[in-house]
Amino acid sequence: MKITLVQTGKTGEKYISDGVAEYSARIRKYAPFETITIPDLRNTKNMPHDEQRHKEGRQILQMILSDDFVIVLDDKGKEFTTKEFASQIEKIFLLSKKRMVFVIGGPWGFSADVFTRADLKISLSRLTFSHQMVRLLFAEQLYRVFTVIKGDPYHHE
């Protein structure tokens, strides 16, 4: 199964983009992995946050196929330990899906339509992180999950 990360907007900080690139390369040793970056919305200075969420949501949904297993990363989603997350990913791999799509929204979160389309909503933490930082934290955790699944020594407990 291919794993796709859909994210909104460019990664602005070099240390984040470098870290994400490093973990993405590591993930690709375990599974096909791609990142799709939806361009930033334009002229948002006076645009209400609900409208921004709605417009980003339409763009996100255009990247999702009908047979994808969609997981949104949201601070109100279900929390897992690393081992529980690894177990969940293994279960998803058993489904007859071609892609597992993780979605990181913009700074104002997701539209209702994206939440409705999601098969699973997960949280990396009850703490609040910027949508930029979530990219790096997610990439590291996905890599860690694969090392747990494969029994590699990266994860310690």
Q: Is the pLDDT of residue 157 over 80?
A: no
Number of DSSP helices (H) and strands (E) in the chain, helices first: 5, 5
Tokens of 65: 């196929």
Helix/strand/coil for 28: coil
In angstroms, the CA 89 to CA 144 distance is 12
- Select from 7, 24, 14 the least CA-distant residue to 143: 24
**What is residue 9's predicted lDDT score, i.e. its pLDDT?**
86
- Select from 38, 105, 37 the least CA-distant residue to 70: 105
E-assigned strand segments in the chain: 2-8, 33-38, 69-79, 99-104, 120-123
Q: In the β-sheet with 69-79, what is the strand arrangement from edge to edge?
A: 33-38, 2-8, 99-104, 69-79, 120-123
User: Residue range 14-27: average pLDDT?
Assistant: 96
The string of pLDDT tens digits covering residues 51-60 is 988 999 999 9
**What is residue 42's predicted lDDT score, i.e. its pLDDT?**
82
Average pLDDT over the chain, rounded to whole?
93
